[in-house]
Structure 1
Amino acid sequence: MASPQDMETARQARMVALVLVATVVLWMGASFLGGKFGWETRYAFLFDLAALAAFFWTMVVTYRIWRKRQSN
């Protein structure tokens, strides 16, 4: 049986995976719709910055998970 700490780590890893998948899908969808409807470039940059922020967050959380597993 897994310990509560292992369960928490698994939950965080699932959250990272969900955020990564959602970010890629939403980013690609926004880029597609922006091109199709001729949105201004500033909206493309807004979506890009939001995606970069999500990717940065996932990198930070993944690093924290890795460090936690290294210390165990």
Structure 2
Amino acid sequence: MTQTRPDPSDLQRARQARLVGIVLAVTIVLWMGAQWLGGQLGLEVRYVFLFDLLAIAAFVWALVVTYQIWRGRRG
């Protein structure tokens, strides 16, 4: 059996997909922690809303990168 090396573009897409997964997991954990901590400390709504906006920004970034990965696989 002959083993072939993966295509460099496949390796790049795999790295991007791994990064997206890590960003999503960390974002979810940090967002949930911020929501809990905000409730415990009685933070003002504007600060809690800031955490929400940061999480949304991370989710949008992950969506854009995932779309780029998908488009790269099709092309």
Aligned-pair identity in percent equals 59
TM-score by length of 1: 0.97
Runs (4+) off by over 3 Å: none
Looking at secondary structure, tell me which structure has more helix per residue: 1
Deviation digits for residues 11-53 of structure 1, max 9, x if unmatched?
Answer: 0000000000000000000000000110110011100000000
The aligned amino acid for 1:37 is L
Over the aligned positions, Cα root-mean-square deviation in angstroms equals: 0.5
CA distance in 2, matches of 1:30, 1:15: 22
Aligned match of 1:27:
31
Q: For residues 32-71 of structure 1, what are the structure 2 equivalents within 5 Å?
A: 32-71=36-75
TM-score by length of 2: 0.93
Q: Give the CA deviation at 1:3.
A: 1.1
